[in-house]
């Protein structure tokens, strides 16, 4: 499969790179390389002594990143999820960075390549792994998971109110015939989910939930945030683009926990300036795509970016 066969429109391209406040000789991390839209923009603003470390799980994305690195010595490629930030930077001999960008969720090439098994629009093997070189496929997990666990995943990660009915149908079906394709799962879900939001396929929430679970997407977000903040130089920035409420809630709550000052008893006589300085400060309000971007790329509609800057407290 060609790595350039499917197009990917980079969401919040200019806004995200601008948020990083690129320093010519700084060190930056693109935690989700994808097809390199953000990375190339960052590189265009880096000087000869600048450095960019790119992460991705997807072998196809890594192939594109490796080709870029072959042409640009400033690029280092890590074929791992971004939750491995600490170990990867240690291996590269990097202690601190000046900025880190995370563009969460699934990329357009992954959705549009039917063979990857992410979309109910194509009948293909039920894979759903971002990294096809390791881990259980969605089909393998559905073949062995307990009914209660399937229901919990669909409820937690898909916020699907018919989660128990779907799980029951999956278990009943697999006893007769294994569920191995996206078409089988989509058809089964459609039989169970009788009502759905206008314009939304009955399988949308179930596919989202299983994909998030298989790739440990929310767990990785929780793991990367403290690593990223700890690795930032003073005035270094972390920009995170989320595409659904579960991801954004994690980012929003974590940032909030770091900027809140400690609550002391009323009788403690301490001036605000004498309190410990928060490790980060928020850089303005959350940023969403413009109307023009949404019109050009409807998939950007749900994107929201939050930016934090490391304070002098290290």
Give the model confidence (pLDDT) of 103-130 as tens digits.
997 766 666 566 676 677 778 999 999 8
| pLDDT tier for residue 6 given thresholds of 50, 70 and 90 | very low
Question: Has 56 been labeled as part of a binding site?
Answer: yes
In the prediction, which pLDDT does 314 show?
A: 57
Clarify whether residues 235 and 97 are in a common domain: yes
In the prediction, which pLDDT does 8 show?
A: 64
In the prediction, which pLDDT does 166 show?
A: 97
Q: What is the distance between the alpha carbons of residues 91 and 195, in angstroms, rounded to a whole number?
A: 51
**End-to-end alpha-carbon separation of the chain, Å?**
45
In the prediction, which pLDDT does 236 show?
A: 98
Q: What is the distance between the alpha carbons of residues 32 and 28, in angstroms, rounded to a whole number?
A: 12
**Confidence check: pLDDT of 2 > 50:** no
Q: Which of 214, 233, 251 is the last residue of a domain?
A: 214
Q: Which of 214, 248, 267 is the last residue of a domain?
A: 214
Q: Which of 184, 214, 244 is the last residue of a domain?
A: 214
Question: Has 36 been labeled as part of a binding site?
Answer: yes
β-partners of residue 181 are: 125
- Lowest mean pLDDT: which of 2-6, 189-193, 284-288? 2-6
Chain centre distance of CA 312: 28
With contact defined as beta carbons under 8 Å apart, do 128 and 142 qualify?
A: no
Percent over 90 (pLDDT), the chain:
76
Q: If you average pLDDT over residues 89-116, what whole number do you get?
A: 83
In the prediction, which pLDDT does 117 show?
A: 65
- 3-class secondary-structure state, position 275: coil
Question: Has 37 been labeled as part of a binding site?
Answer: yes
- Mean pLDDT, the chain, rounded, equals 90
| pLDDT tier for residue 25 given thresholds of 50, 70 and 90 | very high
Give the residue numbers spanning the domain of 194.
132-214
Instruction: Give Cβ neighbours of residue 256 (< 8 Å, ≥ 6 apart).
Output: none
Clarify whether residues 24 and 78 are in a common domain: yes
- List the CATH number of the domain containing 71: 3.40.50.150
Question: Has 113 been labeled as part of a binding site?
Answer: no
Q: Look up the pTM and report it.
A: 0.89
Question: Has 38 been labeled as part of a binding site?
Answer: yes
In the prediction, which pLDDT does 116 show?
A: 72
């Amino acid at each position: 499969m060609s790595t350039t066969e499917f197009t990917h429109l980079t969401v919040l391209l200019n806004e995200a790179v601008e948020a990083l406040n690129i320093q010519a000789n700084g060190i930056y991390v693109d935690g989700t390389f994808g097809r390199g839209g953000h990375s190339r923009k960052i590189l265009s603003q880096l000087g000869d002594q600048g450095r960019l470390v790119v992460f991705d799980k997807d072998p196809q994305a890594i192939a594109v990143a490796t080709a870029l690195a072959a042409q640009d010595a400033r690029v280092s490629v890590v074929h791992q999820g971004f939750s491995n930030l600490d170990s990867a930077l240690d291996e590269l001999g990097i202690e601190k960075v000046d900025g880190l960008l995370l563009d969460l969720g699934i990329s357009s090439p992954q959705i549009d390549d039917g063979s990857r098994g992410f979309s109910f629009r194509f009948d293909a093997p039920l894979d759903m792994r971002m990294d096809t070189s390791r881990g259980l496929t969605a089909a393998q997990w559905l073949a062995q998971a307990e009914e209660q666990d399937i229901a919990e995943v669909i409820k937690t990660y898909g916020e699907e109110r018919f989660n128990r009915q779907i799980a029951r149908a999956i278990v009943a079906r697999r006893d007769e015939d294994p569920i191995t394709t996206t078409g089988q799962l989509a058809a089964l879900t459609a039989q169970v989910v009788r009502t759905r939001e206008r314009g939304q396929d009955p399988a949308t929430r179930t596919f989202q939930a299983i994909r998030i679970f298989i790739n440990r997407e929310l767990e990785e977000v929780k793991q990367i945030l403290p690593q990223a903040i700890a690795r930032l130089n003073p005035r270094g920035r972390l920009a995170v683009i989320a595409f659904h409420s579960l991801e954004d809630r994690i980012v929003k709550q974590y940032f909030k926990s770091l900027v809140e000052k400690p609550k002391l008893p009323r009788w403690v006589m301490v001036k605000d300036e004498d309190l410990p300085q928060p490790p980060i400060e928020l850089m303005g309000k959350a940023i969403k795509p413009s109307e023009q971007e949404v019109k050009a790329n409807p998939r950007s509609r749900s994107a929201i970016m939050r930016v934090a800057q490391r304070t002098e407290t290290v």
